[in-house]
Amino acid sequence: MAAVFAALNPYTWRSFTPELLSRRVVAACDRRDLVDLLQAVPGTTVGEWAGPPELADGKDPRVTALVTFLDSHPWRGLSLQTLCRLLVEILHESA
């Protein structure tokens, strides 16, 4: 959830379309998973990333699942923390 929060917080995320928001969330989660995988390798040091992650593919089924949720809920009225928690839960359920 922290990775998603960090990926959205610098932006005016309420102005995003559901697809843009979903693609950014999936990309943040994928980057976090990659860091976790690399850190599991003995002797590996993971440095800082240069810039935000590239957006996830709009055809990714995880993006579709998030867009479906966002299209049917008043997500712009939620706090960023609550929105991140919900979206991460949906991603875990769709995996």
What are the residue boundaries of the structural domains of the chain, listed by start? Answer: 2-94
pLDDT at 46: 84
Per residue in 65-88, pLDDT tens?
999 999 999 999 999 999 999 999
Residue 39 clears pLDDT 90, i.e. is over it: no
Model confidence, pTM: 0.90
Burial of 21 (0-12, 13-18, 19+ CB in 10 A): buried
Tokens (6 digits) for 23 = 């693609």
pLDDT grade, residue 50 (50/70/90)? confident
User: Of 92, 93, 94, 91, whose CA–CA distance to 22 is shortest?
Assistant: 91
pLDDT at 48: 82
Per residue in 8-25, pLDDT tens?
999 999 999 999 999 999
